[in-house]
């Protein structure tokens, strides 16, 4: 899995331009995944089951968006 690094500017330095657009994309992705109740509430005991359901939910979200576009 890719590593996600935090982008937090230090006090007194320039603000990071375009950070709001990146944040919006991430928030939208999380909102799309939380439409599946099993992912919104953490019922799984094993991390591998949760990762599997996250991948399945992501595939379903992509499939729905692609079928709406055509």
User: Is residue 23 in a domain?
Assistant: no
> What is the pLDDT at residue 57?
87
User: Is residue 22 in a domain?
Assistant: no
Among residues 48, 49, 29, 31, the alpha carbon closest in space to that of 40 is found at 31
User: Is residue 67 in a domain?
Assistant: yes
Please report, for residues 3, 23, 53, 66, the alpha-carbon distance to residue 39 in angstroms, rounded to integers and kept in the order given.
21, 20, 7, 22
Residue-number span of the structural domain to which 65 is assigned: 42-70
Domain count, the chain: 1
Q: Say if pTM beats, i.e. exceeds, 0.95.
A: no
pLDDT in tens, 10-56: 677 666 666 666 677 778 887 888 787 777 777 777 888 888 888 88
């Amino acid at each position: 899995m890719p590593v996600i690094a935090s982008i937090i500017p230090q006090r007194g330095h320039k603000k990071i331009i375009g950070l709001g657009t990146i944040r919006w994309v991430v928030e939208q992705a999380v909102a799309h995944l939380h439409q599946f109740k099993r992912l919104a509430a953490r019922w799984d005991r094993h991390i591998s089951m949760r990762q599997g359901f996250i991948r399945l939910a992501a595939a379903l979200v992509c499939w729905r968006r692609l079928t709406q576009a055509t």
